[in-house]
């Protein structure tokens, strides 16, 4: 599959990509299983904790899961994410070194953009799927609706400030397949291992398009 096909599959799998920040590697498997059981197969593990790469490695083989590495900021993180078993990467913005690294290390990328110029630059590199970040702070669903006019060929995954309350306004737009958010599995629920509650939240998120 091409990078584009993989990112398209990741974004089309469910209306929400949970953004996961995991401190303890032992939490990774039950957490990922809880989310997949709730109907959310695409998972973004942020590289913001010491345990993140080990967490990716621990869940990479879970049946039905599409495991990605988020908060990619450097070329070496791209290399590490690929080595850990990530099938895709997500970056809050995009730099030339990240763009070169995902080609070199063969990691499909959902790169971040927040303006028409950034989105157009990424389009020149062939990125027709982009993360729109930080979504609420840069204009939310209204901004994305405006971008759909001149740039209808770009599918955005908005993240940053998305909640169960505002998710539907994004998902109703023609240029959105899914949103990303940390609300499905907040740190507080992960720390007490409340996997059942997380599956519940995943079910509600998976049903957002129905």
Task: Report the catalytic residues.
Answer: 44, 131
Using CB atoms, what's the residue nearest to ligand 3PG?
182
State CA 161 to chain mean position distance: 14
Of 84 and 162, nearer to ligand 3PG (C-beta) is: 162
Rg (CA), the chain: 16
Beta carbons within 10 angstroms of residue 46's beta carbon: 19
The three state secondary structure string of the chain is CCHHHHHHHHHHCCCEEEEECCCCHHHHHHHHHHHHHCCCCEEEEECCCCCHHHHHHHHCCCCCCEEEEECCCCHHHHHHHHHHCCCEEECCCCCHHHHHHHHHCCCCEECEECCHHHHHHHHHCCCCEEEECCCCCCCHHHHHHHHHCCCCCCEEEECCCCCCCCHHHHHCCCCECCEEECCCCCHHHHHCCCHHHHHHHHHHHHCCCC
Where does this chain bind ligand 3PG (CB under 6 A)? 19, 46, 70, 133, 159-162, 180-183
Of 159 and 175, nearer to ligand 3PG (C-beta) is: 159
């Amino acid at each position: 599959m091409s990078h584009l096909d993989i990112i398209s599959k990741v974004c089309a799998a469910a209306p929400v990509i949970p953004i996961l920040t995991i401190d303890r590697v032992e939490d990774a498997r039950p957490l990922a299983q809880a989310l997949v059981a709730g109907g959310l197969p695409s998972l973004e593990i942020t590289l913001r904790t010491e345990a993140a790469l080990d967490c990716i490695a621990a869940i990479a083989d879970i049946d039905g899961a599409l495991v990605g590495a988020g908060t990619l900021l450097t070329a070496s993180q791209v290399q590490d994410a690929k080595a850990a078993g990530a099938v895709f990467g997500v970056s809050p913005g995009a730099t030339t070194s990240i763009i070169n690294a995902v080609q070199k290390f063969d990691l499909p990328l959902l790169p971040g953009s927040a303006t028409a110029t950034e989105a157009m630059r990424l389009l020149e590199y062939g990125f027709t799927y982009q993360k729109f970040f930080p979504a609420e702070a840069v204009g939310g669903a209204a901004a994305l609706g405006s971008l759909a006019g001149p740039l209808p060929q770009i599918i955005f995954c908005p993240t940053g400030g998305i909640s169960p309350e505002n998710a539907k306004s994004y998902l109703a737009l023609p240029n959105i397949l899914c949103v990303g958010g940390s609300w499905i599995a907040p740190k507080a629920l992960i720390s007490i291992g409340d996997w059942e509650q997380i599956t519940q939240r995943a079910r509600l998120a998976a049903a957002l398009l129905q």
